[in-house]
Every structure is written in structure tokens, then in C-alpha cells.
Structure 1
Amino acid sequence: CLGDRAAVALSRAGHFRGRTLFSGMLYAPLVMPEVITGLSLLLLFVAISAERGFWTVVVAHTTLTMCFVAVVVQSRLHALDRSIEEAAMDLGCSPVAAFLRATVPLIWPAIAAGWMLAFALSLDDLVIASFTTGPGSTTLPIRIYSEVRLGVKPEINAICTLIIAAVTVLIVVASLAAKLSKTQADNAAPM
């Protein structure tokens, strides 16, 4: 959600004061090593006396993944024809309604792709989670890593098999949905 809004701000707001700083801070996690990001967030949480746990991991993963979502959505917004949104405003929609009714359906695949990318990166992250998690809270990658150090157990194999099966099912469903959508578009196209 934050990555989508950041992408809209960067692609639609034009030049505003602090744009360079905003985009620099937004894209910094793309090029910064995860160890540096994790350590920086740990120092931030210590400085503000935040108890490390679930919410610190959420903030850390949001910081890490927001830039990837913004890149995906911003690229789709740049490729989008603004005249569709302008036509909706000419027909009586407010700018917000025109964006929601005309633009959001067109950028929905980019939003979904950004969400899936963010989910995969968050699920995969071990380094930042190890810096920001606290006692009593753990993430799946940390749990798997700590279990594997002591030897591979059947539970770890089962978890990994379930994750692979879920990803496979999602890929097959997405592929079938894309194929169905293309077929419907080809059938609806005038000859």
C-alpha cells in the first residue's frame, strides 16, 4: 500500500520540494546491503527504545519491500496513457474517482506483482529479521535456519514442500488466468 502511494507520488506529482530526497530514501534499500539495513534499523529501534518483536519486524520488512513495489507500480504508471484518466474526469469523475475507476484497474497487475514480490522477499529475508526480531517472536526463515543447524528434521522438509507446492499452484493459476484473459480479449477484439 505504501509502495503504491509512493509510486503514484513520484509519477504523478511532478516536481515537488524534497522529491530527490524522497526518491533517494525510497530506493536506498534496493542498493544497500541487507546487513547495513538491518543494523541501521536495530540502532533506530534501540535509540527510540522500541521493544523488538513483531512490530519491529513488520516495520523492517515494510522498509525493505516498499521500494520494490514502488519500482514495479511506477513503471506501469509511466507506461499508462493519462488520457484515459482525463476522459473519466471529462465525463464527471473527480480526480480521485477517475484514478480509482480508470487507473487502478489498469495498474492492478502491477500492484499484484509488487505484492507478490514483496511477499517473496519478506518470506526469504533472514538477515534483517535476525537484527529486528526480539525474544518471543521469530520468523519462518529464522526458525528454519535455527532448526537446520541442528540437523534437518522432517518438519522442515514438510514446511519447504508445502511452500514449493503453494508457489507451484499459484504459478499455474496465474498462468491459466493470463491465458484465459488473453483468450477472452482475442475473442472480444473486433475483426
Structure 2
Amino acid sequence: MNRGVSWFNITSIVLGFAFLYLPIVILIIFSFNESRLVTVWGGFSTKWYSELFNNQGLMDAAWVTARVAFVSATVATVLGTLAAITLVRFGRFHGRTLFSGMVYAPLVMPEVITGLSLLLLFVAINFDRGFWTVAIAHITFSMCFVAVVVQSRLVSFDSSVEEAAMDLGCPPAKTFFVVTLPIILPAVVSGWMLAFTLSLDDLVIASFTTGPGATTLPMKIYSQVRLGVTPEINAVCTILIALVTIGVVTASLVSKRQELERKRAEAAAKAQ
């Protein structure tokens, strides 16, 4: 009975992972295809990566996407961290329910509604659409993800460390930057990486809020795929997959290292 259940679980996991990742593996393989026909294997070649870097339209879209992702992830991390601190440290205050609802609303709001509402806002205030409207839109929906990640770390945070620092004469602001921030830094870095990845991946909201000269890479890929998949598209998607994978692995390693250092410090403190 247990053996049957075990084989059933293994088979389910294998089929599930194959369904999720086999198309990605096929895309990566065909990005090294010699043939221009993406469904016919013509031999191994890296020429499409050279062609990709000579494609000025894709390069401009990639540069816009990278700038938008960096700016939006950085601002969203700052605002999301402040929101998480407010929700965890200030307890129940007047308007807390409204504040938490506004912070977490983008988590459950359909992207079409978010993009349309932001478009109507920018039109109402006569704000020219372009790079900054896309960045503001990405900050709006990615800030809540950062708040969730940082809040989960602050809930288990030992506030006695901060109290000890302030008892020794450390001002509250310095206590945050010297004591609190280094401890919650893995969560902050993870939140930044998550916001950066979400910005790289966004298509719907950027389509509503973009303007002249602010075409992002997902929008460029989508517009070209509608006319047919080309080997350059496979190549640029492979590079995006590699960047996201490197970022996730790096954030995971940093988080594990910080966690080990924290445990060592706690063990040393208990030994003393």
C-alpha cells in the first residue's frame, strides 16, 4: 500500500514538473537551432544570439525593461518595508484596516483592472505616459509583495535586541539601520528580487500605462510572436530565464548565509 502510494506520488510529481518545465527546456534547446524554422532542428548554432544583439528594437526594449525593473523594485522595496514595519510594530491604530486593505489589494486585483485604473488616473491628471508611468504602475503592484515578505520576517523578529540597543543610548533611527535592517536584510533582498522579477515579467499593466519610447521587452516579444515565433525570440527568452534563475539562486544563497550567521550569533550569545 505504501509502495503504491509512493509510486503514485513520484509519478504525479514527475508529470507535474514535466508539464511546467518541459516547454521551457524545449524553448532553450531550440534557441540553439541552426534552422530559422523553430519547429525543425537543423543543427547546433549560437548565431541567433549574435542576431539578437544586432536587433536594435529588442535591445532598446530590453534596456527600457531593465531600467523600469530596477527603479520600480528599489522604490517598491523601500515602501513595502515601511508598510510592513507599520503593520507589525504599530499594533492597532485608527485606519489600520483601510491601510492594510490598500497595501494588499493589488495581490488579488486583476491586472486588467489595475492597468485600466492607472491609465484613467494618468489621463485624468494629464500625465504623459512613458517610462515613469510604467515604473509607477510596477511600484503599485509589486510593493505589496515586498510588504508580505518583509512582514513575515518581522513577525518572528526578536525585539529585545532593539530594546537593548536603545537602552544603551542608540537613537531609534540608528537602531533601525544598525540593528534591525541587517537582521531583516535577507527578507528585504528577497522582496527586491521578487519585485524585480515581477517587473521583468509584466505585460498587461505595462501595455495600459506605456507610451512612446517606453516599449518593454514582454510587449516587444508579444507583438513579434503574433506574427510568428522567430529564433531571436527563443534566444531572448532563454537569456531572461537565465537571469531570473541566477537572481533566484543568488537570493536563496544570500538568505541561507544570513540565516546561518544569525543562528551562530544566537548560539554565541547563549554560550556567553
**TM-score in terms of structure 1 length:** 0.90
Is 1:164 matched with 2:241?
yes
Is 1:118 the counterpart of 2:195? The answer is yes
Larger Rg: 2
Give the whole-Å Cα distance in 1 for the aligned partners of 2:252 and 2:229: 33
- In the alignment, what sits opposite 1:5? 82
The answer to whether residue 204 in structure 2 is matched with residue 141 in structure 1 is no
Q: 1:40 aligns with which of 97, 117, 125?
A: 117
Which of 174, 187, 207 is equivalent to 1:130?
A: 207
Q: 1:85 and 2:162 equivalent?
A: yes
Q: 1:40 corresponds to which letter in structure 2? A: S
Aligned residues: 191
* Letter in structure 2 aligned against 1:35: V
Change (3 A) 1:47 1:184: closer
Change (3 A) 1:97 1:183: closer
Which of 93, 107, 120 is the equivalent residue of 1:30?
107
For residues 140 and 85 of structure 1, do their structure 2 counterparts lie closer, same or farther at Cα, with a shift above 3 Å needed? same
Identity %: 68
**SS in structure 2 at match of 1:21:** helix
* CA drift at 1:49: 0.8
Tell me, in whole angstroms, the C-alpha distance in 2 between the residues paired with 1:141 and 1:48: 27
SS in 2 for 1:161: helix
Letter in 1 for 2:238: T
C-alpha separation in 2, matches of 1:27 and 1:186: 31
Q: Mark the CA change 1:44 to 1:77 in structure 2 (over 3 Å): closer, same or farther.
A: same
Q: Deviations over 1:74-101 (max 9, x none)?
A: 1111110110110111121111111111
Give CA deviations for 1:109-136 in whole Å, capped at 9, x if unaligned. Answer: 1101111111111111111111100122
User: Counterparts of 1:17 and 1:186 in 2: how far apart (Å)?
Assistant: 37
Greater mean deviation of Cα atoms: 173-182 or 55-64: 173-182
Instruction: Return the match for 1:150 from 213, 218, 227.
Output: 227
Equivalent in the alignment of 2:5: none
Structure 1: gaps spanning 5 or more residues? none
Matched, 1:63 2:153: no
- Shift in Å at residue 42 of structure 1? 0.7
Structure 1 residues 170-181: aligned runs within 5 Å: 170-174=247-251, 177=254
| Bigger mean CA offset, 130-139 vs 59-68 | 130-139
